[in-house]
Amino acid sequence: MELQQLIDDKDVLYIYEIGLQIHGLFSNSDDRDFLLVVSDDYIPSKELEDDEHFQVYYISNWFNRVLSNEMIAWECACLPKKYVIKEHVKLLLQTNPLQLRKEFDSIYDYVVASAKAHILKGNSLTGQKQLWELVKYLKFANQIIENHKIVNFKEVAEDYRQIVNGQVSDIETIMNAFNERLFGPLQLFKKYTDSVLKASKIKKIIQNG
């Protein structure tokens, strides 16, 4: 798919470069990945639908993610300018530690179970990348709480090297690497968010009588 064609299309509202290259891991131009946000009337071509290097979101769905403080929205909002290819309006998000904690708690068990299933089926690379995404989430969430934005996209590069090791496929070794990289960021994340989560639960109990 030609990137310039998408840049010129008025119904393509946002184009962000995403993927491993923004973390300083790969520089091969053929492996560049992009996130597109398109108008709700946009009809993607089959070429675009079949291209694994492009993720497409419709604008109504995208702004639901922005309003919900989802991590994918934070990543795009905080990207260095060289990775912002096209932007309709600048994304503005407000730091919400409770929302970050709720999102992490809602995805953790599912992602770990999915990763283990992929590894056991012999698709280790997919499973390892899923585990790395959890560590990345925690490190970026901690940056957001500390700085109100993601300030260092390369912080997670060493985690990728340790967890996503193409020469390792046994689940015990992979999970040990994951848990080792997860421990510190998770403890810090809980330190930042345990109190707000507890307060939210107490408030909900009071409201429900």
Tens digit of pLDDT per residue, the chain (209 long)? 789 999 999 999 999 999 898 999 876 665 789 999 999 999 999 999 999 999 999 999 999 999 999 999 999 999 999 999 999 999 999 999 999 999 999 999 999 999 999 999 999 999 999 999 999 999 999 999 999 999 999 999 999 999 997 677 899 999 999 999 999 999 999 999 999 998 888 877 777 76
Rg (CA), the chain: 18
Residue 161: count other Cβ atoms within 10 Å of its Cβ. Answer: 13
Structure tokens at 197: 């989560």
pTM of the model: 0.91
Extents of the domains making up the chain:
3-86, 97-207
Helix (H, G, I), strand (E, B) or coil at 7: helix
Task: Work out the widest C-alpha separation in the chain, in whole angstroms.
Answer: 58
Q: DSSP string covering 159-195, please?
A: HHHHH--TT---HHHHHHHHHHHHHHHHHHHHHHHHH
